[in-house]
Amino acid sequence: MLSGARIMISEYPNSKELEREIKELKNLIEELVQEDWNLKKQLEERLKDLEEALIDEKYGIKATMLLGKYRHNNGYDSEVLLYVNNIEDCTGKDPVKTMYLMGQVLLHEYFHSFYYHVGVGSRDRINCVEEPMAEYGSLVVLDSVVSSGLPISTEASKTLAYTYNKVKRKQKCKGYIAAYGFGAYLYDNHRKDYRELIAEYANVSRLLDAHGRRTLEYKYMVYPSYPDSHFEKFTYDKLRCLLATGIKSAKGIKTLTKKVSKVAPVITHTSATGGSKGSIAEKKLCQFALEVFRFLKNKGLLGYLESFVTKKRNPELRTLTAPGVFKLVGILNDGSRISRSSDWFMSETFNIGSDTYYLSTQWSEVNTNTHLHFDDLKNMIGHIYPKKFDIRKKDDMFIMIEL
C-alpha cells in the first residue's frame, strides 16, 4: 500500500439501508408493551442516533479507519488483510503498540474466518452480532495465552491490556463501532465460559435471520450506540436468546416458504414474510438444486460435471468428488434405486455422456447423515465453474448469478 493511503469504512450502511433500519426500529418500538418503558427509552435513543446519522451519512462524514478484513470469495479463495498504515495511525506509530494491535486485529479476522467455516447453512453475517463475537474471540485467545504461564505470556498480557482498552473504548463510539464494544463486555463477564458461547455462535451464525424479531431486539441494543451499563446484562440475555433461536433452526424446524417469480438471470427463492425464519425449507433447497441443474443442462454445461462423477464400490451410487474441495455422496444416482425409494430422487433425469442421473431430493442447510449439505452444491458449482457463477444467499433467498 502507498504510504499515507487510508482505507475508510462507513460506520453506517448506505442511506437507503439506514432509512430501512429507522423504519424497522420504529416498528420495534411501537410493538413494545407498556411494561417495557425503560427498554423503550433505550431504543428511542438509538432511533435518534440513526436519524442523525441519516443526515450525516448523506454528507458522507461518518467513517472510520479499517484495520483488517476477512474476505471469502465464492468458496475457492479467502484472505485476511491487515491495513498496516491504519493500524499505525491508531497506535501513533509506536512500534510496540503497533505489534500488539496487529496481533489482535489478526486474531479478530481469524475469528471471522472461523465463524465462516464452522457454521452450517449459508452465510449471511450480521455485523452487530458477528463483530463483538470476533472481538471477544480475539480477547479470550490472548487471555488463554496469558494464563499459559509460558514465556510468551508476558507479551500476551501487554497485548491484551492494550487491545482490551481499545475494544472497551468502542463502547463510546457510534455506528457499527459501538457493537464492537460489546466484545469487551463479553470478555469481562464470560471469560470462563467462552468455549460454550463461541461454539454456540459458530454453530448458528449462518442461520440467523437479519430481520427477525430476536435479532432486532439484540441489534438495536448495541447499535448505533452502546446501552447504559445496567442494560448490558439485558443485552447479553437478548444475545443468548437469539443464539438459542438459531439452534432450534439448526435442529431442523421447518419454516414457511413460497416461491416468488424468477429474477434474472437465474433462480430465486424466498420465504414468506413474517414468522420465524432461520433455515430454508428442504423442499425449496431441492427445487433450487434442480433449477441449477436444469440451467446447466439448458446451457449445455452439464457435461462439465462428468469428470466429477465416479463410481463407488456400490455400483448403484455415484459420487461427485473433487479432492480437498468438496465431496457429494449420492447427489446423482443411476436409476436402479428409484424403484425402491422414489422420493429420494427427482423424477426428472439428467444425461451426462451416456449415463442417466437422478438428482437427489435430500438437501439440507444443516448437517445430517442422510442429507446433502446445500453448501456442497455451492462449492461444487464454484469449483467446476470458477468465476463463472456465484450462488449467494441474501436473507431467505438464493440467487445464482452468471458473472
Residues that bind Zn ion (CB under 5 A): 131, 134
- Residue 111 CB, shortest distance to Zn ion, in Å, is 8
Secondary structure (DSSP) of 177-196:
HHHHHHHHHHHHH-STTHHH
Q: Which is nearer to Zn ion, 239 or 380 (CB)?
A: 239
For 94, which DSSP code?
-
The span from the CA of 300 to the CA of 297, in Å, is 5
- Residue 184 CB, shortest distance to Zn ion, in Å, is 14
Which three-class secondary structure state does DSSP give residue 151? Answer: coil
- Residue 134 CB, shortest distance to Zn ion, in Å, is 5
Q: Which is nearer to Zn ion, 127 or 276 (CB)?
A: 127
Phi, psi at residue 372, to the nearest 5°? -90, 135
Nearest to residue 173, comparing CAs of 129, 100, 224, 215?
224
Residue nearest to Zn ion (CB): 134
- Residue 105 CB, shortest distance to Zn ion, in Å, is 9
Q: Which is nearer to Zn ion, 11 or 365 (CB)?
A: 11
The span from the CA of 306 to the CA of 300, in Å, is 12
Q: Which is nearer to Zn ion, 134 or 399 (CB)?
A: 134
Q: Which is nearer to Zn ion, 65 or 325 (CB)?
A: 65
13 preceded by cis ω (within 30°)?
no
Distance, first Cα to last Cα, the chain: 28
- Residue 165 CB, shortest distance to Zn ion, in Å, is 18
The answer to whether residues 159 and 146 touch, using CB atoms and an 8 Å cutoff, is: no
The C-alpha cell that represents 55 in the structure block:
443526515
Q: Which is nearer to Zn ion, 218 or 345 (CB)?
A: 218
Strand pairing category for 63-65 and 68-73: unpaired
Match 448458528 to its residue by C-alpha cell. Answer: 204
- Residue 252 CB, shortest distance to Zn ion, in Å, is 30
- Residue 109 CB, shortest distance to Zn ion, in Å, is 7
Match 439448458 to its residue by C-alpha cell. Answer: 298
Number of H helices, E strands in the chain: 12, 15
- Residue 164 CB, shortest distance to Zn ion, in Å, is 16
Residue spans of alpha helices (H) in 279-384: 282-298, 374-384
Q: Which is nearer to Zn ion, 131 or 375 (CB)?
A: 131
Q: Which is nearer to Zn ion, 7 or 309 (CB)?
A: 7
Residue spans of alpha helices (H) in 77-230: 84-90, 95-118, 127-146, 152-169, 176-189, 194-204, 213-222
Match 480475539 to its residue by C-alpha cell. Answer: 138
